[in-house]
Amino acid sequence: MNKAIADHNRAAGMGNAGIAALLSAIFMGLGQMYNRQWTKGIIFLVAELVSLYLIVTSLAYNLWGLVTLGEQPAHMEKIGRLYRNVPGDHSIFMMIYGLVALLYIGLLVCFYIANIKDAYRIGKRRERREKVNSFRETWRLLGNQGFPYVLLTLPAIGVLVFTILPIIFMVLMAFTNYSAPDHIPPKSLVDWVGLRTFTNLVTLEAWSHTFVGVFTWTIIWAVVATVTTYFGGILVALLIEQRGIKFKGFWRTLFILPYAIPQFISLLVMRNLLNYQFGPVNQYLRMMGFGGVPWLNDPFWAKVTVILVNMWIGIPVSMILVLGVLTAIPRDLYEAAEVDGATGFQKFRNITMPFVLFQTAPILIMQFAGNINNFNVIFLLTNGLPANGDYAYAGSTDLLVTWLYKLTLDNQRYNFASAIGIIIFIIIAAFSLYNYRRSRSFKEEDMIQ
Q: Identify which range of 18-26, 61-69, 228-236, 241-249 contacts other proteins by CB under 8 A.
A: 61-69
Q: Which H or E run contains 83? A: strand 82-86
Nearest residue to 317 via CA among 248, 263, 243, 383: 263
- Name the segment binding other proteins (CB under 8 A); options: 11-19, 204-212, 220-228, 369-377: 204-212
Q: Is 204 in the site for other proteins (CB under 8 A)?
A: yes
- Binding other proteins (rule: CB under 8 A), the pick from 47, 170, 224, 227 is 47
CA distance 418 to 403: 11
Tell me: does residue 39 bind other proteins (CB under 8 A): no
Letters for 376-405 (x = contact with other proteins by CB under 8 A, - = none) are ---------xxxxxxxxx-x----------
289 scored as a contact of other proteins (CB under 8 A): no
Nearest by Cα to 392 from 205, 215, 133: 205
Q: By CB under 8 A, name the one of 157, 159, 164, 239 that touches other proteins.
A: 157
Please tell me the distance from the alpha carbon of residue 18 to that of residue 15, in angstroms, as a whole number: 5
Query: Helix, strand, or coil here: 368?
Result: helix
Beta strands in 307-351 (DSSP E): none
Write the DSSP assignment of 199-229 as a string of letters.
HHHHHSHHHHHHHHHHHHHHHHHHHHHHHHH
Peptide linkage before 186 cis (omega within 30 of 0): yes
Question: Which residue's CB is nearer to other proteins, number 242 or number 277?
Answer: 277
Q: How far is the CB of 10 from other proteins (least distance, A)?
A: 22
Build a one-symbol-per-residue string for 92-111: x at contacts with other proteins by CB under 8 A, - elsewhere: -x---x--xx-xx--xx-xx
Under the binding rule (CB under 8 A), the answer on residue 134 touching other proteins is no
Window of 181-189, 216-224, 238-246, 255-263 that interacts with other proteins by CB under 8 A = 181-189
Q: How far is the CB of 21 from other proteins (least distance, A)?
A: 14
Residue 42 contacts other proteins per CB under 8 A: no
287 contributes a contact to other proteins by CB under 8 A: no
Nearer to other proteins by Cβ, of 45 and 422: the residue is 45
* DSSP bridge partners of 78: 83
Q: Do residues 221 and 307 touch, judged by C-beta distance below 8 A?
A: yes
CB of 355 to other proteins, least distance (A): 45
Q: Which of 273, 269, 296, 297 is nearest to 285 (CA)?
A: 273
CA distance 361 to 425: 22
Among 14, 49, 67, 152, binds other proteins (CB under 8 A): 152
DSSP 8-class letter at 28: T
Cβ distance to other proteins smaller for residue 87 or 330: 87
Confirm or reject binding of residue 81 to other proteins (CB under 8 A): yes
Give how many residues touch other proteins by CB under 8 A.
Answer: 98
CB 186 to other proteins: min, Å: 5
- Per-residue string for binding with other proteins, 301-340, x by CB under 8 A? ----------------------------------------
Instruction: Candidates 1-9, 157-165, 305-313, 330-338: pick the segment binding other proteins (CB under 8 A).
Output: 157-165
Instruction: Figure out which of the listed residues 181, 244, 262, 341 binds other proteins, where binding follows CB under 8 A.
Output: 181
Is 200 near other proteins (CB under 8 A)?
A: yes
Query: Residue 209's closest CA among 220, 217, 198, 201?
Result: 201
Q: Is 347 in the site for other proteins (CB under 8 A)?
A: no
Kindly state whether residue 146 participates in binding other proteins, applying the rule CB under 8 A.
yes
439 binds other proteins (CB under 8 A): no
Contact between 275 and 282 (Cβ < 8 Å): yes
395: nearest Cα among 318, 299, 320: 299
Number of Cβ within 10 Å of residue 230's Cβ equals 23
Considering only residues 38, 149, 375, 434, which one is a binding residue for other proteins as defined by CB under 8 A? 149
Q: Which of 8, 10, 84, 129 binds other proteins (CB under 8 A)?
A: 84
- CA proximity to 374, closest of 307, 426, 319: 307
Angle formed by the axes of helices 414-444 and 196-203, nearest 10°: 90
Query: Smaller CB distance to other proteins: residue 177 or 367?
Result: 177
The three-state DSSP-derived secondary structure of 88-152 is CCCHHHHHHHHHHHHHHHHHHHHHHHHHHHHHHHHHHHHHCCCCCCCHHHHHHHHHCCCHHHHHH
Q: How far is the CB of 290 from other proteins (least distance, A)?
A: 15
Considering only residues 406 through 435, tell me which ones interact with other proteins, judged by CB under 8 A.
409, 411-413
